[in-house]
Amino acid sequence: MSRDRCEVNWIIPTRGANASTGTVKWDPVHSLWNGGMLGVALIAGPATFTWSAFAVFVILTGAAVLLGHSVGFHRLLIHGSFKTKPLIAKFLVWAGTVAGMSGPLWIIRTHDLRDWAQREPVCHPYLAHGKSILHDAWWQLHCTLQLDCPPDYDLRSVERERFYRFLEKTWMLQQMPIAIILWLVGGWGWVVWGVCARVAITVHGHWFVGYLAHNVGPQSWIVESSGVQAHDVPWAAIPTMGEAWHNNHHAYPGSARMGLKPGQLDLGFLFICCLEKAGLAWDICLPEAMPERRNSLREV
């Protein structure tokens, strides 16, 4: 794993790797999961709506996105932008799995393939969110890209963690304990809203903000060497826990802080700061620790 936190950490130099040519194929596992969760939410959600079920939906969605997707998966596992105690790291990665997109190994591969490809001069439109919004929705939520000449990964440090391998194999089943608790406390309405609607909005919201973040919105930086540039999505700063400051993230990928300018709320970074004050997080990477990165950036 590279020491440079602005590098793509889990992909290793691969001779002949090409980001531009490949075939998009239907991914039955994620397609049926994503479509099934959305279908149950749309059909059963209105029939089971209560304000308590909606409150469960809001609280659990926020917790899974904050603790799991933003802090656990993205800033900790993928980018290594801070360090924490092993048990806390495992909890945060479990929370990321519970967010419902997939297991930790799949998330790393999917993220870093896109990260690597967008830094190439030309990349496949699947990886650049380069098609129309409906076309991209079908691709991202129901399909996978098989590159003709893909890069290699070095995931040994993650794969040797038995708990992470367990999460990878059982990522769908991780919803079951939550569903059982919700059913015992609040009945089927809490299950529909606390599991199905939560997973559906997380998955589809993640895609939608990602699509916007690579197509439209304000920019502060241009990464000179990258074929695909990013945009910020300011209205999504709160629901994404700061992940929507995506132009900032492309500028400083290894930074634990994504809201870099005054007024850019970043709840994920604030949570990491709380961990630091409690003595549970350290070695937190910030842009000022990467002055050499400025050589690759042009302010706009």
Question: What is the DSSP annotation of 165-220?
Answer: HHHHHSTTTTHHHHHHHHHHHH-HHHHIIIIIIHHHHHHHHHHHHHHHHTTSS--S
Task: Say if 272 falls within a structural domain.
Answer: yes
Structural domain count of the chain:
1
Report if residue 169 sits inside a domain.
Answer: yes
Residue 173, domain extent? 22-299
Within-domain flag for 7: no
SS3 call for 143: strand
Which one-letter amino acid corresponds to residue 178? I
Predicted pLDDT at 2:
44
Look at residue 158 in the predicted model and tell me its pLDDT: 95
pTM above 0.85, yes or no: yes
Domain membership of residue 2 (yes or no) is no
Neighbours of 258 (CB within 10 A): 28
Q: Which amino acid is at 50?
A: T
Per the DSSP assignment, residues forming a β-bridge with 141 are none
- pLDDT, position 3: 56
pLDDT on residue 1: 40
Weakly modelled stretches of the chain, pLDDT under 50: 1-2
Confidence (pLDDT) at 247: 98
**Inside any domain, residue 172:** yes
Quote the DSSP letter at residue 180: H
Task: Name the β-bridge partners of 26.
Answer: 143
Q: Which of 98, 102, 107, 101 is nearest to 194 (CA)?
A: 98
CB proximity list for 57: less than 8 A, separation 6 or greater: 193, 194, 197, 198, 201
Residue 56 lies in a domain: yes
Contact between 101 and 202 under an 8 Å Cβ cutoff? The reply is yes
- Does residue 8 lie within any of the structural domains? no
Give Cα 253 distance to the centre of its chain. 13
Does residue 14 fall inside a structural domain?
no
